[in-house]
């Protein structure tokens, strides 16, 4: 009986001693397995130095042109386009706007923002000169994707019916273009 108790005490002492060797600073976090600057865990200073070195490498790469992405045949199958340079307008609304308002001289066109700005022009069979600004704001073929603002030469307001009829003509032409393309 005495030897059994002695054996238990020796085993428990060995277990407690072994666990304490793993890290006596468990609560304080400054030694053993749980210390802050353990060999596998970088310190904040090391992380800051690495971040600065990475930033310097990137700046040098940008300056030398080495950061230009290489293209491969596999790039054709991926969608890696930069969203800042892709055109996000509906092509049918865009083309229909240009066709319907072809009597107006174009001043500026920006397919990246979806804005077509025209100069003053007189519609066929009309006597009043208009200018238009068309805003195609969405890639969907939808009436909510199109905004048309009209102005007369004298700066007067254009009636809502006139603006709506221009929008309807553009939407109708856009639908015709889409149907034509779907038959191909």
Mean of the pLDDT values across residues 78-89? 65
Return all residues near 32 (Cβ < 8 A) that are at least 6 apart: 21, 22, 23, 24, 25, 26
Assign domain 91-182 one CATH number from 3.30.530, 3.30.40, 3.40.50, 3.30.499: 3.30.530
> In the block, which residue shows the tokens 């609560």?
27
Domain ranges (residues) in the chain: 26-68, 91-182
What is the reported pTM?
Answer: 0.53
**Which residue(s) pair with 133 in the sheet?**
117, 149
> In the block, which residue shows the tokens 């009436």?
143
Q: Does the pLDDT at position 9 exceed 50?
A: yes
Q: Which residue has the higher pLDDT, 149 or 48?
A: 149
């Amino acid at each position: 009986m005495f030897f059994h108790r002695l054996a238990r005490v020796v085993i428990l002492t060995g277990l407690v001693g072994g666990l304490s060797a793993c890290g006596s600073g468990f609560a304080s976090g400054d030694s053993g397995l749980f210390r802050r600057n353990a060999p596998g865990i970088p310190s904040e200073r090391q992380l800051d130095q690495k971040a600065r070195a990475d930033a310097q490498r990137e700046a040098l790469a940008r300056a030398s042109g080495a950061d230009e992405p290489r293209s491969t045949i596999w790039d054709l199958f991926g969608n890696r386009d930069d969203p800042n340079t892709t055109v996000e307008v509906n092509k049918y609304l865009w083309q229909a706007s240009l066709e319907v308002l072809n009597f107006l001289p174009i001043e500026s066109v920006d397919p990246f923002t979806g804005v077509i700005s025209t100069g003053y022009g007189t519609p066929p069979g009309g006597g009043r000169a208009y200018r238009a600004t068309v805003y195609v704001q969405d890639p969907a073929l939808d009436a909510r994707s199109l905004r048309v603002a009209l102005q007369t030469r004298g700066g007067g307001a254009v009636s809502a019916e006139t603006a709506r009829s221009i929008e309807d003509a553009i939407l109708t032409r856009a639908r015709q273009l889409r149907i034509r393309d779907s038959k191909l």
